[in-house]
Chain A
Amino acid sequence: MFDPATAAVEAALAAGATYADARFVEARAENIEVLNGNVEGLDRIESVGVGVRAMFGSSWGFFGTHDLSAEGLRSAGHRAAEIAKASAAVPGPLFELADVPVVEASYETPHQEPPLEVPLSEKVDLLVTVTEEMAAVDRIRLARASFGAWDTHKWFVSSQGHRIHQHLVECGGGFDATAIGESETQRRSYPQSFGQYETGGYETVRKWEYAANAGRIAEEAAALLDAEQCPEGEMTIILEASQLALQIHESVGHAIELDRILGWEAAFAGTSHLRLEELGRHRYGSDLMNITADATLPGALGTFGFDDEGTPAQRVPIVDAGLWVGVLSGRDSAAIAGLPPGGMVRADGYDRLPMVRMTNVGLLPGASSVEEMIAETRRGVLMSTNRSWSIDDKRLNFQFGCEIGWEIVDGRLGRMIKNPTYTGITPRFWAQLDMLGGAAEWVHWGTPNCGKGQPMQVAHTGHSASPGRFAEVRVGVRG
C-alpha cells in the first residue's frame, strides 16, 4: 500500500512542491453503547484514503481523498501543492524542516486478542451484565457501559525517502451509574470518566474486572444523593490518579505544545502561559514534579512506532524536578524554535493535517502512598474521578469537578462528600504538590477524546500518574 501514497507524493512534487509526504490509512473502529441492559448503539466505522501534505516555500497545503484511482491520487497531490501555493500568498517565516532519520521500517502494537475479532456477543454480554447489575441498585436510574476499539494501518511515504508501515491497535471502555434526585444528578464511573483506553488487545479490557466493580460503583452513586456538600475554603487535597492524569493533560500537556507556544492555535485552542525564552529556567512546580512525554511506554494510549511525519517515537523530558525543560514538537515547529523534533505530530484520519499532539505526558511516580498522604493530612478532601474540566486559553486558571470525595480529618478518612471541586492557577498549584504516590500506584491512564485544531481533530493521549497531594487549594466553589 505504499504505492498510492507514493503516487500522491510524486504528483505534489510535479506540481511544484519542494517537499511532500502522504499517508495511506485504512482505519476500522467499533463502538458499543449499552443503557440499562439495552444495546442503544452499535456502530462500525471504516475509512480508507490518502492524505497528502505539500510544502511550497514555507507554506503547507494538504488534501485528503478517498478516490484511490490513479487520477484521484494525482489530483490530490496536485491540489495539495496548489493549496500550498495559495498559502504562500500570505506567507510566514522561511524555515527548513528539522532533520529526522529517513527510514524504511514497520511497527505493530503488541497485543494478544485483536479487539475487533473478539465475538460481539462476548463484548455485549459483558456490558449488558454490568449495566443490569448497576440498574438493580436502588435509586440508580441510568446504568451505562461502553466499549470502543480502533484498528489502524498507516503507510507513510515522504519525498525524502521514508517508507513506514504501522499497525496500531487500541481499545477500552468503562461504565457509569447515575442516580437522579429531586433537583440533582450524581454519577460514578469506572475505571475513569469516559472509560479507560490503552494500546493493546482485548486483554487490556479484561484486566479491569468490570463485573467485580459494578455493584460498588452503583452503591456509591446512590449514596452521593444523601452525601454532604463539599466544604468550601482552602485546604489540602489528595487527587486519585485518574484525576491527576487529567490535571496533567490540561495544565501541562496542552501548555507545552510548541504550536500553541508559537501562537498557531491562538484563536481556537488558545496559546500558553509558557514562553520559549524561559525554557530551562521556568519553575513549573515543586521538586516532586518530573514529567516526560514518552511515546515508547508499552500499553499507554499515546504509544506508537513513528509519528505522522515519520519521526521515531521517543522519550522527552518535559519537567525535571519542577523545572520546565521540554516541549511537544514536530518538524516545522521544532525548526522554527531551534529545538530537536520530538516526534509528536499526529492526525485524526487520512483526511486531516498532522499537528502537534500529546503522546504519553505523564508524571513520574514518587515515594508515598495514598494511605501515607491521608495519615499526614490534618484537614482536607480526597477527590476521585473527573466530572467536569475547564481551563483558560493560556492553561492557567482551571476548575475541576470530581464525582466523589471524602473528607479527611486528623489523618483519617471521614464522610463521603458530593460535588467536590477545586480551582487554581497552574504554576502555583503544581508548586503545592508535596506528596506523590509510588510506582505501585502508577497507572497509564488514557484520554481518547482530546480535541484540538480546526477542523477539529480527536487524538488519543496517555497520562501516567499515581495519586498526589496538594496543599492549600481552594475547594468547594459553587454556582
Chain B
Amino acid sequence: MTVKKRSKPVSVNPLKIGQSLGGILAMQGCYRAMPVVHGSQGCSAFPKALLTRHFREPIAVQTSALQEMDVIFDANRNLEEALNAVLSKHRPDIIGIIGTELSDVAGVDYQSMLKSYKRERNMRGGLAFSVTLPDFRGSLESGFSVTVEAMVDELIQQAGLRGQRNVNSRQITLLPGSYLTPGDVMELKEIVSSFGFEVIALPDISTSLSGHLLTGFSPLTRGGVPLDSMLQSLQSGLTIAFGASMERPARRLHNALGTPYKVFQGTMGLKASDELLNFLHQISGVPVPIRYCWQRENLLDCMLDAHFQFAGVSAVAALEPDHLRSVSEWLDELGVEQKALITSYETPAVAEMERDVWVGDLDDAEVLGSGADLWIGSSHGIAGAERIGAAFLAAGFPIWNELGSYMNVSVGYRGAMEWTNKAGNLLMRREAEHRESSVRHR
C-alpha cells in the first residue's frame, strides 16, 4: 500500500547488498565468464568472499585494482591492464565490466574505453559489455537485473538479427530473478520443460552454483549457460520472467525481437504455482503432468496439517523487494500475520503491494518486528531474531549457517511445501522450548 522509511541518520545492520555483487552473481550463471569489477581491490574481494560463503563454491571475479593515483590520473589504464591479463591468461567467452561507486564518482568513462578496446583488439566471437552498478542506488536485485539487461542487449547486438529470425515456438527463455536459488532455477526449468518446451535459462546458476564435481581448475565460471545457447535463446518463441525486476530484460527482448513475454511476480505458494502451471498448460495445450497434480494435493494436505502451527502466528521478513513480495504472498496463504515487511530499496513491485513495506535495515526489522514469532531473512538476522525471541528462518542472501541452503526450493508446489514444513517445524520447536523454560523457572 505504502512504502515507508524510519528516520534514522545511520544504517544499523544493513540489509542492502551492493549492486555490484548482484552483477557478479548474474555472471556466475554464464559459462566461461569473468566479471571484472572496476574499483579498488575490496570491491571484488568482499563480494567474492560473501558469495563463496553462501554458495560454498569458488566464485569467478577479477578486479581492476584501482589505487588512489589511478583514480586521479587514469583509471582506465588499470582496466585495460586487467582486460589484457584476463583475456590472455584465461580466454573467457564472456566478460562483464562492472563499474562501482568509485569509478562512478570519479567519472570514469569505461563504456567508450571498452568500445575502442573491442575495436582495436578486433574482439569477435566473445561477449563483452559494461554496466554501472554503484552502491548508492538499488541493491543486489537491481544489480542482477541490470546486468542481465546489459547482457541481453549485447547478445542482440552481437547476433545483429533485428526483425529477421527463425522463431522456435517450442523454445522458451527463462529469466530467473536474483532471489531464486540454483535449486529454484532447476525446478523452474524442470516444470517448464515438462510441458514439452526447450528451456534456456538466462543466466543459469543451476548448473554453475549447485555443486558439481568438475575437476581441472579454471578461474572462469565452471557452469552456467554457454554463449551459443545464449545466442540461440534469441530464437525463443516466448520469454518467461520470474520476479518483477526481470521484466526490463524481458522487455528488451520484446522491443528488439518482438518476443512476447510473461512476468510472474510471485513465485511462492499455491496461487503462484497454480498460475504458472495453468499458464504453461494453456500455451502448450499439454495436460498438467500427473506429478504436479500429486504435488498440489500434497501441498494442500501439508497446509492443512500445518495450519494449527501457523494460526495466530506473526512474522517479520527482511528480504530483497521481489523476494519479499513472493514470501508475503506465501505468508498470506498460511494466514500468518505480517508484522513488518522490510526491504532494501523501493521498487514499483513493492509499492503496489497491498501491505505496508518499509525500506530499511535489520535494526528496523528488530524494532518493527518486535514480538513476532518468526523471522525470515538472511544469516545477518540471526542475532536480531534472537534478541526479539523469534524463530529464525534462513532465506535470501547471504546464508552461511546452513548447509545446502543454496539448493533449497521455494518455487512450485514442492517448494511451497518445503517452506511450509520448515517454518512449521521451527515454530513447533520454539513452542517446545518456551514450554520447557516456563517449567524450569516456576
A and B pair up:
no
